[in-house]
Amino acid sequence: MEFSAQQIAAILHGEVVGNPDVTVSGLAKIEEGTLGTLSFLSNPKYEEYIYTTGASICIVNATFEPLKPLPETLTLVKVEDAYACFAKLLDVYSQMRQKQAKIEQPSFISETAQVGEGIYLGAFAYISDGAKIGNNVKIYPNVYVGDGVTVGDDTILHPGVRIYADCVIGARCILHAGVVIGSDGFGYAPDEKGVFSRVPQIGNVVLEDDVEIGANSTVDCATLGSTVLRKGVKIDNLVHLAHNVEVGEHSALAAQVGVAGSAKIGKHVMVGGQAGISGHLFIADGTKIVAQSGIPSSVKKAETLMGSPGIPIEDFKKSYFGFRKLPFLLQKINELEQKVKTLSKSAE
């Protein structure tokens, strides 16, 4: 798939400086650019590479003025915001790479399912009884859509996604490979002998519009009611959300985060990788949780937390500074103990 500098400038409302007819068919970082690739420069830290890059086209800010001669093979496309425009171009490129509407065989669509217009259904995909699939949905091979599931318009289900019965997926959601939505919550009750009996999990999962979930993440169904991810939530790979969890609008959870049952996470919360959040608590809107932190109790006001248990980050830094000094302090204590013993013997 080739684009000329003129076409790119038209998409981005930019200005071509150089050869408008030069074409590119690939993307590359500016320091790794080769002939036929497109790159961008927005951070001055990387400006040195534009004078040696092999890329054919580079998107730059309109204010950029070269301090040295540029490679003869390089054409610039000047735009207001190089980073934002490159991201826009990536989105256009990604959309062009998506599958076109068709239904591949073998695949299965129940007679009682409702399927919208313009869908792509990959081979070995399965759509169960009573499912409702919106318009322009992309369902890649080996996807399972359970009984009564609703999938909104323009949603993408990548290969191997599993959606259990009665779950609701909003519009423009993206579920990456291996995501499981609606699997049973971890519900067991021990009897008087300590033997666990399974507690049926009969709720569902609701993803509102514009939710994205990374590969091999799992969202458990509710015991009763719904596990809910509100509008615009972004979930990284290998994240686990337990039964009856609620994640507020536009919050983001990085890889390997675990959230225990019935925890309520507010809006615009950011959780770093491998953090753990205990069940039945509330995280205030705007809270930031540093990677590998543990949150055992509710957070009532927005702050940045670090450590396990999580404490305000400035307090953690002070505590860590003290922790690093412990070997020195222990050595001093030992020296003082020796001096006290020596003085005691002298006094005798």
Question: Which residues does the annotation mark as catalytic?
Answer: 243
Nearest-CA neighbor of 293 among 245, 329, 257, 336?
A: 257
| Cβ–Cβ under 8 Å, residues 311 and 320 | no
218-237 CB burial, b ≥16 within 10 A, e <16: bbbbbbeebbbbbebbbbbb
The HSE-up count of residue 228 (CA atoms within 13 Å, CB side) is 13
Distances from the Cα of 95 to the Cα of 88, 100, 169, angstroms: 11, 10, 20
Rounded CA-CA distance 208/153 in Å is: 12
Tell me the H-state helices in the chain: 5-12, 82-97, 313-324, 326-347
